[in-house]
């Protein structure tokens, strides 16, 4: 009788140990699986790195539409029809007063600033051409526009700052041309005129 009680107790202890080990195994597997799960939000994050910033400004609350066009060393052009070339990106396309109103808490708020910005994400040696296009003019007077080119790393430094007057709808002017070496050093700047948009249009027409 005593032997049967000991056997039953031993069987119960063995079952308890087996159940505990099984639960422990499941718990460890759950912890490992949880650690291996990747956060999709983290995967989607891209470091917003920029090496250079080009900014165009014209008078606040002015209705005219000005477009910036930049040609990179490989001949790629970034503007509102092609906002991203891989190394350059149009961050803000400003169309004058158009779409400058935002509704917040039932109230209409106006953004008076007329500004376009393009960032250069990685340094590539060669020449960059910064052109301005007076896409739409509402007055007959020349439109004053300022252009600023900044190198951001290792610290912010001014590459170019200048002003020019756009003469009306369709007027395209070269604001600045600058050349970089492989280390991002500025080798020089000039304002030799080079058409970008109208040149591309003529090339497509001739084809």
Predicted pLDDT at 80: 86
Predicted pLDDT at 4: 47
Which value, to the nearest 10 degrees, does the dihedral of the CA atoms of residues 81, 45, 102, 62 take?
A: -40
Contact 114, 59 (CB under 8 A): yes
Supply the pTM of this predicted model. 0.67
Predicted pLDDT at 145: 96
Predicted pLDDT at 93: 59
The ranges of the chain with pLDDT < 70 are 1-27, 29-48, 92-112, 198-207
| Mean pLDDT, the chain, whole residue set | 79
d(Cα 102, Cα 107) in Å, to the nearest integer? 8
The residues facing 73 across adjacent strands are: none
Predicted pLDDT at 98: 46
Whose CA is closest to 143, among 206, 203, 60? 60
Q: What are phi and psi of 12, to 5 degrees?
A: -65, -40
The residues facing 178 across adjacent strands are: 128, 189
d(Cα 49, Cα 137) in Å, to the nearest integer? 35
Predicted pLDDT at 173: 97
Contact 174, 194 (CB under 8 A): yes
d(Cα 11, Cα 5) in Å, to the nearest integer? 10
Contact 62, 135 (CB under 8 A): no
d(Cα 117, Cα 184) in Å, to the nearest integer? 20
d(Cα 88, Cα 67) in Å, to the nearest integer? 15
Predicted pLDDT at 46: 43
Q: What residues contact 185, with CB distance under 8 A and at least 6 apart?
A: none
Cα 72 to Cα 119, 120, 189, distances in angstroms = 12, 9, 14
Helix (H, G, I), strand (E, B) or coil at 175: strand
Predicted pLDDT at 81: 87
Tokens of 153: 């790393």
Whose CA is closest to 118, among 77, 155, 153, 154? 77
């Amino acid at each position: 009788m005593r032997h049967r009680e000991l056997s039953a107790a031993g069987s119960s202890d063995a079952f308890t140990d087996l159940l505990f080990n099984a639960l422990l195994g499941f718990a460890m597997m759950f912890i490992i699986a949880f650690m291996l799960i990747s956060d999709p939000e983290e995967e989607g994050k891209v470091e917003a790195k920029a090496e250079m910033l080009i900014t165009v400004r014209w008078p606040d609350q002015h209705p005219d539409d000005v477009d910036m066009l930049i040609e990179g060393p490989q001949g790629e052009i970034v503007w509102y029809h092609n906002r991203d070339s891989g190394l350059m990106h149009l961050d803000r396309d400003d169309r004058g007063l158009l779409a400058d109103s935002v509704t917040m808490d039932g109230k209409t708020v106006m953004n008076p600033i007329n500004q376009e910005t393009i960032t250069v994400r990685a340094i590539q040696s060669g020449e960059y051409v910064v052109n301005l296009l007076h896409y739409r003019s509402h007055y007959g007077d020349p439109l004053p526009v300022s252009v600023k080119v900044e190198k951001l790393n290792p610290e912010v430094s001014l590459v170019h700052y200048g002003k020019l007057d756009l003469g009306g709808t369709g007027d395209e002017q070269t604001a600045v041309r600058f050349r970089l070496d492989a280390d991002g050093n500025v080798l020089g700047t000039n304002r030799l005129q080079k058409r970008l948009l109208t040149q591309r249009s003529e090339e497509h027409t001739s084809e």
